[in-house]
Structure 1
Amino acid sequence: MTAYALAHMTPQPPLPEDVFVYMESIQETMDPFGGRFIVHASETEVVEGPFDGAYVIIEFPDMDKARAWYDSDAYQAIAAKRSDHIPGHLVLLQGVPPDYDVAATGKALRAAQAG
């Protein structure tokens, strides 16, 4: 099942050289794990609530590949070039199967909450 690395970043210009080195190097760390960018700090249209920063979403074939990428020597060698200069959060998320039924999930949660 597809997994995602989701980052919410709040970069503060001007960006230091380390960030450019990170950006120029990250794809090669993702390639062995089947990672690809889905969103990279694209234009954001805020439709509800306050928002600051930018999102990055990277898709992986599964959670094992996403974890392996994050833990890899290649990624860890460059990670601080971003995290030392751009505040934010990075999480790994499990996707849902193609036949996912949110209504069924809602019903199951309602029943569980009712006890």
Structure 2
Amino acid sequence: MSTYAIGHLHDVNLGPDIVEYLRRIDETLAPYGGRFIIHGGPVTVAEGSWSGDLIVIAFPDKASARAWYESPAYRQILPLRTNNSRGDVFFIDGVSADHKATDILADIPMTDQPLG
């Protein structure tokens, strides 16, 4: 199952370090099958509010995503981003093509309490 590395970045200082990071990140992704799905760009807000930049990188599986993030090649360029932006980065598994919204109910103990 695909796993996604998701970054929600704020206050990106688009200076020489970030430019260098952008020049080098693709070569760190290739050995792990990583590819950009979303890389910033304009957002049309339908509900709530939004700020920052969203980055989504797809990997074949969680092991590949973790191996990329921990790789010496990525660790070498990581400070170029972390020293010039702030934000959250996390991994999350995708769902199968036949996934239905109610599939998550199998993993939730049912009570009389409202969700949330």
TM-score, normalised via structure 2 length: 0.89
* Alignment length (residue pairs): 112
Distance 2:89 2:31 in 1: 20
* Residue type of the alignment partner of 2:111: A
Distance 1:84 1:18 in 2: 9
User: CA deviation digits over 1:61-112, x for unaligned, max 9?
Assistant: 0110000000000000000100111111111111112222221323653xx1
Question: Match for residue 6 of structure 1?
Answer: 6
In percent, how many aligned pairs have the same letter? 35
Question: Match for residue 70 of structure 1?
Answer: 69
Question: Match for residue 19 of structure 2?
Answer: 20
Distance 2:87 2:34 in 1: 20
Does the alignment pair 1:34 with 2:33? yes
Does the alignment pair 1:103 with 2:102? yes
Q: Aligned with 2:96: secondary structure?
A: coil
CA 64–20 in structure 1, closer or farther in 2 if over 3 Å, else same: same
User: CA deviation digits over 1:24-55, x for unaligned, max 9?
Assistant: 00000000000000000121111111211010
Question: Match for residue 89 of structure 1?
Answer: 88
- Unpaired segments ≥5 residues, structure 1: none
Distance 2:91 2:106 in 1: 26
Q: Aligned with 2:5: secondary structure?
A: strand
Higher helix fraction (1 or 2): 1
**RMSD of aligned residue pairs (Cα, Å):** 1.6
1:39-58 correspondence to structure 2 within 5 Å: 39-58=38-57
TM-score, normalised via structure 1 length: 0.89
CA 79–108 in structure 1, closer or farther in 2 if over 3 Å, else same: closer
- Unpaired segments ≥5 residues, structure 2: none
CA 19–108 in structure 1, closer or farther in 2 if over 3 Å, else same: closer
Of residues 87, 110, 115, the one that matches 1:113 is 110
